[in-house]
Amino acid sequence: MLAVDPRPLELRDVVKSYAHGAPNAVDGIDLVVEPGELFGLLGPNGAGKTTTVGIATTRVAPTDGRALVNGIDVVEDPARAKASLGVVTQFNTLDRACTVRENLDFHCRFFGASRRVAQHRADELLERFRLADRGGEMVTALSGGLAQRIQVARAIAHRPTIVFLDEPTAGLDPQSRIALWDVLGELRTDEGLTVVLTTHYMEEAEQFCDRVAIIDRGRILVCDAPDALRREHGNLAIATLGFADEPSASGAAARLRGFGTVDEDGATLRVRTPDGAGAVPGLVNAAGPGLRDLSLAEPSLETVFIALTGRELRE
Amino acid sequence: MSATVASGGPYARGSAYARAFHGLMVRDARVLRRELVAFLLRTVMNPLLFVFVFTYVFPKIGRGLGGGPAGGVSFATVLVPGLIAVAVFFQGIAAVALPLATELGGTREIEDRLMAPLPIGLVAFEKVVFSTFQSVLAAIVVFPLLYLIPAEPVSVTIASWPLLIGVVLIAGLLAGFVGLLLGTVVPPRQIGLIFSLVVIPITFLGCVYYPWQQLGPIPWLKVLTLVNPLVYVSEGLRAAMTPSLPHMPVAAVLAALIAITAALAWVSTRSFVRRVTD
């Protein structure tokens, strides 16, 4: 009997370098995901999120460190690790030679289900994911949102305890996104599924994740509940002011210091201010005639990210 | 379902792998059944036209292919083992390389099979095993054409069933591994090229239309063709089906086939695992 149940996911100082001399894609990530959590890996494109998921799901060989899924080392025993996890990749990897129903059916067969059990499970999933009338269609004919729903259904078909989703909402229409979050919510309540997902949509991470890790350049900058991160790192609104040229920006910088900390970045200034929207008229006045545009980010994971990296996420 | 790969002993593990392997086979069988017509056309077209033109049309219009092999055996007889060898070989390569090009290309649709709970090398091996099955099927489909269409007499005497079955099976595996190698090495968009650059030279220089020993007058070609695995398949089938024709010693054929298959198995599996793992 084990004293402690293994964690769904445990990464210990995981490193991945793709090419000699290039910066590490993943540069020493430590991470523990608790049972039943919805955990978000948040960061810009190229931050190392997909590689991290790739390592955890046995598809990328780590250069260093250990990755354990349900206590199973993914490098030492990938076959067993694969049996206990599910993956939804960023791109549609449904089997184009098969129908919707067959995609689910065969997936179960791969995991050792008998013909009858697999067919039963496929029907059950079609019902649950409201796909019952689409079962016989070839997957080539499906829209993006629908294809993605089937990928989620397929990922959980063998009843894994943890499922990884890489950028699940990227490229989805708003309705499909809502549907996806609903499905994930149901699966967590009904089956106690642990969910790890990557996203570069801050709002979603903030709204749905129990905890997020903000990743940049292969490292975890911070890891906590969204609320806690906001309290600790991002309780200031960030005003971004664009100027006509650098001289007018640097001229305005001195006048803006009264509102909060000012970061200079060429013709752009970032002012971190506790006043939020109330500061806007004052900022415009103080900025002077060189000001071309102004945007304000209320305290959010977005401002946390800017505070930590000095950059905006969607660059 | 999720508990299939239990932490149990090697037996439990082996049986979990076997079930996953079987699942992959079931999937491939379903896809083959759906594409059966395409499979049959692909298999039948080359030998059908070949025997029709060279062993039906030519004799009828009074044109023969010069000389004819030793022993007064018809050209049609020479073609039986040769074209079966081509069918087996071509089918084995195509059955692995063509789908692999799509699955590894833009869609990465092999991903779900790679996530099946068995080692990735076995995912590749399943493809080769299934292609061997298709190769055998191709041999069975092609044989009656070769026997029935020619206008000249065809003399086939199965000298050894075990040899015939053995050569077909090893040839199927060998071709499957060639397909695996080509499918992982050749960029998906250029997969069509392998047919003009690899399959056609292998076929024409594979002792398909002439027994190897009759290459005596062209010694350099006789030596050069020894690197072509199809030569051993043709010669092996000649030994098994048309023993009256000159053919290589059976032991040499089997040794070469087994050695080449083993080497290709190693190289192509490695290439596959590298191609799909970052």
Closest CA to B242 of B117, B147, B151: B147
Residues 6+ away with beta carbon under 8 Å from B15:
none
Chain A, residues 59-78, CB within 8 A of chain B, namely 59-61, 78
Model confidence at A85, in pLDDT bands (50, 70, 90)? very high
User: How high is the pLDDT of residue A163?
Assistant: 97
Q: How far apart are CA A186 and CA A128, in angstroms?
A: 10
* B2 with A111: Cβ contact below 8 A: yes
Q: How far apart are CA B266 and CA B248, in angstroms?
A: 26
Is residue A139 predicted with pLDDT exceeding 60? yes
pLDDT averaged over chain B?
A: 89
Q: Which residues of B touch A83 (CB under 8 A)?
A: 2-5, 16, 117
Q: Which of B23, B99, B109 sits opposite A110 (nearest CB)?
A: B23
Three-class DSSP category at B246: coil
Residues 6+ away with beta carbon under 8 Å from A224:
A211, A212, A232
User: How high is the pLDDT of residue B2?
Assistant: 46
Handedness of CA A173, A178, A182, A185 (dihedral sign): positive
Is residue A191 predicted with pLDDT exceeding 90? no
**Beta-bridge mates of residue A273:** A237
User: How high is the pLDDT of residue B30?
Assistant: 96
What are the start-end ranges of the E strands in chain A?
Answer: 9-16, 26-33, 38-42, 64-69, 72-73, 85-88, 162-166, 194-199, 211-216, 219-224, 237-243, 261-265, 268-273, 291-297
Lowest mean pLDDT of A82-96, A104-118, A164-178, B70-84, name the range.
B70-84
Q: Which of A18, A83, A97 sits opposite B4 (nearest CB)?
A: A83
| pLDDT per position as a tens digit, B166-178 | 999 999 999 999 9
- DSSP 8-state secondary structure symbol assigned to residue A294: E
Spell out the per-residue pLDDT of chain B, length 278, in tens: 544 444 567 888 899 999 999 999 999 999 999 999 988 998 888 888 888 888 888 888 876 654 455 456 788 888 899 999 999 999 999 999 999 988 988 788 999 999 999 999 999 999 999 999 999 999 999 999 998 898 888 888 898 999 999 999 999 999 999 999 999 998 888 888 877 888 889 989 999 999 999 999 999 999 999 999 999 999 999 999 999 888 999 999 999 999 999 999 999 999 999 999 88
Written as six digits, the tokens of B181 are 């190698």
Amino acid identity for residue B167 in this structure:
V
* A89 with B109: Cβ contact below 8 A: no
Centre a 10 Å sphere on the Cβ of residue A13 and count the other Cβ atoms it contains: 12
Go through chain B and tell me how many residues it has: 278
Is residue A133 predicted with pLDDT exceeding 70? yes
Go through chain A and tell me how many residues it has: 315
Q: Which of A54, A103, A107 sits opposite B278 (nearest CB)?
A: A54
Written as six digits, the tokens of B82 are 């040769």
For chain B, the 3-state helix, strand and coil shares in percent, each to the nearest 5, are 75, 0, 25
Three-class DSSP category at A99: strand
Q: How far apart are CA B188 and CA A14, in angstroms?
A: 32
Q: Which residues of A touch B22 (CB under 8 A)?
A: 109
* A89 with B4: Cβ contact below 8 A: no
Q: How far apart are CA A214 and CA A233, in angstroms?
A: 12
User: How high is the pLDDT of residue B269?
Assistant: 97
Whether the CB-CB separation of B230 and B85 falls below 8 Å is answered with: yes
Closest CA to A164 of A268, A34, A38: A38
Lowest mean pLDDT of A38-47, A132-141, A162-171, B3-12, name the range.
B3-12
| pLDDT per position as a tens digit, A195-244 | 999 988 888 888 899 999 999 999 999 999 998 888 887 677 888 899 98
Question: How far, in Å, are A138, A223, A287, B125 from residue A236 at the CA level?
Answer: 51, 19, 19, 58
User: How high is the pLDDT of residue B3?
Assistant: 44
Whether the CB-CB separation of B184 and B270 falls below 8 Å is answered with: no
Give the residue from chain B lying closest to A61, CA to CA.
Answer: B278
Amino acid identity for residue A84 in this structure:
S
* A82 with B107: Cβ contact below 8 A: no
Whether the CB-CB separation of B112 and A150 falls below 8 Å is answered with: no
- DSSP 8-state secondary structure symbol assigned to residue A198: E
B22 CA to chain A: closest CA distance, Å? 8
Q: How far apart are CA B261 and CA A53, in angstroms?
A: 36
Q: How far apart are CA A263 and CA A310, in angstroms?
A: 8
- DSSP 8-state secondary structure symbol assigned to residue B225: G
**Token pair 């990328």 in the structure block, residue:** A60
Is residue A255 predicted with pLDDT exceeding 90? no
Pairing of strands A162-166, A194-199: parallel
User: How high is the pLDDT of residue B5?
Assistant: 47
Is residue A60 predicted with pLDDT exceeding 60? yes
* A154 with B112: Cβ contact below 8 A: yes
Q: How far apart are CA A5 and CA B250, in angstroms?
A: 60
User: How high is the pLDDT of residue B4?
Assistant: 44
Residue A298: φ, ψ to 5°: -70, 160
Which strand (E) or helix (H) includes residue B273?
Answer: helix B250-276
Whether the CB-CB separation of A138 and A150 falls below 8 Å is answered with: no
- Any idea what the Cα angle at residue B192 is, between residues B188 and B194, rounded to 5°? 95
**Token pair 């004293």 in the structure block, residue:** A3
